[in-house]
């Protein structure tokens, strides 16, 4: 496939008319009728065969409703989509984001110093390393107590203000790596436009000890600018001097002018580039608060984990390529089993925000309805991603996973070593991690194999209760296992999902790097905000529902509750 072919976003033959697609549809009729019990019974070594390993992560994909033929056909589908060429194009810095004519070069953010990569004549890696160096100096100064607030006090509180990719990445990764963080520093994350978020995050804080990091790629985002200005006012009111802003605010953005207009000096601005998508930005300067928490060395260890997975994705044969396998399996369930959702179930409390993070990564990337060439797709695209840290989910929604009517493919994510061998210091109980992981393994087994009516009866269950206690099984899952939750393991895990999402987007022939769908709501909100702020009741020209709701709102907000 020629480069021009890719740049103009021309497409391979329509997805559903390709040989591999048709063969998969045909094959689904056979495999869809088989039970995982059967697939395991037919191949005693299935669990030993259907796995792959990279960058410290072991993927067991044997509990999926596939056989060797399924894999062969899915890989053929990948080939027929030009997957290899598209991966190369992304790593090379081609404008794979065709609707915005931009590269998607997040892989450059974690490439080792000295790597050669020029885009439009610019040494991209050198620029990345320069910013990393500035971030490290700033982080070290804060961690070491050399960076002082306006009144000479040490900074003890860091408040990250940002939304979407400028919040979810740092907030998720900070929580994930809290074990490695400097505990004398306190971190808070403010994203929501609701004033409650900032009010609660700053409650009880001494402005003299507080640093705000305003994160926004565009520096035009309503939520972030509103919260940023409110924080600025709060800070100046407490410290009594506009000049305090210089010691209490930093910014992360691609928009130097916007940052300057806000009143943050270039010395406290950390830049990145338009080729970093918001949802792919946690390893850019957007991760500044994370770097302050865990230190530059651990941050670099996280980048090394990202890079290890990048290298694997770029070079490993597709049949052993973790992101490709995960991506192809997502396509298999979405398009051939009509699964509409996918659950992500990390068995680690520190990964509690991972499902929310993956929602943006997956759904903002692949929630698209037209192909690169602008044609309406005639197949389903992104699954709805949801989930919760184990074992909490087991006591709420797992009932549906086991016995509901929807097929929900699940990703189970776990670690061989917990970070807390004792629940509390001095406690004599067994390693609590074993109990957690016993549940982890038990759930994937129960989902796959279930419990037959004969087994239920053999337990002495009354006949009329038997149907209620049967678990059909045949519910697919992936198991992702690493030794321990380290910065490197987190980086590799995030990169795994980034590239799985890209793989899916390539198969669906959509632009995984734009997000036009969020624009209309923003534009309407601006118009509506002007109407709500108007003292005279303006003539409302929305639909009759919106008009009525707004009038009711206007009336009730003036009456005392």
Ligand X SMILES: O=P(O)(O)OC[C@H]1O[C@H](O)[C@H](O)[C@@H](O)[C@@H]1O
Residues in contact with ligand X by CB under 6 A are: 163-166, 216-218, 221, 224, 278-279, 364, 515, 518
Residue among 22, 297, 472, 522 flagged as catalytic: 522
For residues 463 and 367, what is the distance between their CA atoms, to the nearest angstrom? 46
Neighbours of 458 (CB within 10 A): 9
The number of helices, as runs of H, and strands, as runs of E, in the chain is: 24, 13
Nearest-approach distance from CB 166 to ligand X, in angstroms: 4
Q: Terminal CA-to-CA distance of the chain, rounded, Å?
A: 66
Nearer to ligand X, 257 or 425 (CB): 257
Nearest-approach distance from CB 279 to ligand X, in angstroms: 6
Q: For residue 375, what are the CA distances in angstroms to 78, 137, 378, 511?
A: 20, 48, 9, 12
Which among 311, 323, 317, 312 has a CA at the least distance from the CA of 115?
311
Nearer to ligand X, 217 or 475 (CB): 217
Do residues 187 and 174 lie in contact, with contact meaning Cβ atoms separated by under 8 Å?
yes
Instruction: Examine the residue annotation and report whether 26 is marked as an active-site residue of this protein.
Output: no
Q: For residue 510, what are the CA distances in angstroms to 216, 259, 379, 502?
A: 26, 33, 12, 10
Tokens found for residue 496: 């795994």
For residues 237 and 246, what is the distance between their CA atoms, to the nearest angstrom? 14
3-state SS string over 129-183?
HHHHHHHHHHHHHHHCCCCECCCCCECCEEEEECCCHHHHHHHHHHHHCHHHCCC
Residue among 184, 257, 395, 425 flagged as catalytic: 395
User: Which residues, in sequence order, are CB contacts of 240 under 8 Å at separation 6+?
Assistant: none
Instruction: Examine the residue annotation and report whether 229 is marked as an active-site residue of this protein.
Output: no
Nearest-approach distance from CB 168 to ligand X, in angstroms: 8
Nearer to ligand X, 90 or 155 (CB): 90
Do residues 106 and 124 lie in contact, with contact meaning Cβ atoms separated by under 8 Å?
no
Nearer to ligand X, 21 or 275 (CB): 275
Neighbours of 466 (CB within 10 A): 16
* Bridge partners of residue 52, in order along the sequence: 59
For residues 429 and 423, what is the distance between their CA atoms, to the nearest angstrom? 8
For residues 467 and 495, what is the distance between their CA atoms, to the nearest angstrom? 43
Instruction: Examine the residue annotation and report whether 522 is marked as an active-site residue of this protein.
Output: yes
Do residues 207 and 248 lie in contact, with contact meaning Cβ atoms separated by under 8 Å?
yes
Catalytic residues: 364, 395, 522
């Amino acid at each position: 496939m020629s480069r021009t072919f890719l740049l103009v976003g021309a497409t391979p033959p329509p997805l559903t008319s390709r040989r591999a697609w048709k063969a998969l549809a045909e094959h689904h009729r056979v495999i869809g009728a088989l039970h995982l019990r059967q697939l395991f019974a037919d191949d005693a070594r299935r669990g030993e065969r259907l796995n792959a390993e990279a960058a410290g992560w072991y993927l067991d994909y044997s509990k999926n409703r596939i056989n060797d033929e399924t894999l062969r056909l899915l890989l053929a589908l990948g080939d027929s989509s030009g997957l290899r060429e598209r991966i190369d194009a992304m790593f090379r810095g081609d404008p794979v984001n065709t609707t915005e004519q931009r590269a998607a070069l997040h892989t450059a953010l974690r490439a080792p110093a000295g790597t050669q990569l020029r885009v439009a004549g610019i040494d991209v890696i050198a620029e990345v390393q320069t910013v990393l160096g500035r971030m490290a100096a700033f982080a070290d100064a804060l961690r070491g107590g050399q960076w002082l607030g306006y009144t000479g006090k040490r900074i003890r509180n860091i408040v990250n203000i940002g939304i979407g990719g400028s919040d979810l990445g740092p907030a998720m990764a900070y929580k994930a790596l809290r074990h490695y963080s400097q505990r004398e520093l306190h971190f808070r994350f403010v994203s929501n436009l609701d004033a409650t978020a900032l009010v609660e995050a700053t409650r009880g804080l001494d402005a003299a000890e507080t640093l705000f990091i305003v994160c926004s790629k565009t520096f035009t985002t309503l939520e972030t600018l509103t919260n940023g200005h409110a924080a600025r006012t709060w800070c100046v009111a407490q410290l009594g001097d506009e000049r305090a802003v210089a010691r209490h605010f930093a910014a992360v953005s691609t928009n130097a002018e916007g940052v300057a207009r806000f009143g943050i000096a270039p010395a406290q601005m950390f830049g990145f580039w338009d080729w970093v998508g918001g949802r792919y930005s946690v390893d850019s300067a957007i991760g500044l608060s994370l770097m302050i928490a865990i230190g530059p060395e651990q941050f670099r260890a996280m980048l090394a984990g990202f890079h290890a997975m990048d290298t694997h994705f770029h070079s490993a044969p597709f049949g052993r390529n973790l992101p490709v396998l995960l991506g192809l399996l997502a396509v298999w369930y979405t398009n051939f089993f009509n699964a509409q959702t996918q659950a992500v179930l990390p068995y680690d409390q520190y990964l509690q925000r991972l499902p929310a993070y993956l929602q943006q990564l997956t759904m903002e990337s692949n929630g698209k309805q037209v192909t690169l060439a602008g044609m309406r797709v005639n197949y389903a695209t992104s699954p709805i991603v949801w989930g919760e840290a184990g074992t909490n989910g087991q006591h709420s929604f797992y009932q549906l996973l086991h016995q509901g009517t929807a097929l929900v493919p699940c990703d189970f994510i776990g670690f061989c070593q917990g970070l807390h061998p004792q629940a509390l210091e001095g406690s004599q109980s067994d390693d609590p991690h074993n109990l957690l992981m016993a549940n982890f393994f038990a759930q994937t087994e129960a989902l796959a194999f279930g419990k037959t009516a004969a087994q239920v009866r053999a337990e002495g269950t009354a006949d009329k209760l038997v149907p209620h206690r049967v678990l059909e099984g045949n519910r697919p899952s992936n198991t992702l296992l690493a030794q321990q939750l380290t910065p490197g393991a987190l980086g590799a895990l995030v990169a795994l999902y980034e590239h799985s999402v890209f793989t899916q987007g390539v198969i669906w022939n959509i632009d995984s790097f734009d997000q036009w769908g969020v624009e209309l709501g923003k534009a309407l909100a601006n118009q509506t905000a002007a109407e709500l702020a108007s003292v005279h009741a303006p003539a409302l020209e929305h639909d009759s529902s919106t008009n009525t709701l707004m009038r009711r709102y206007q009336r009730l907000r003036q009456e005392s509750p």
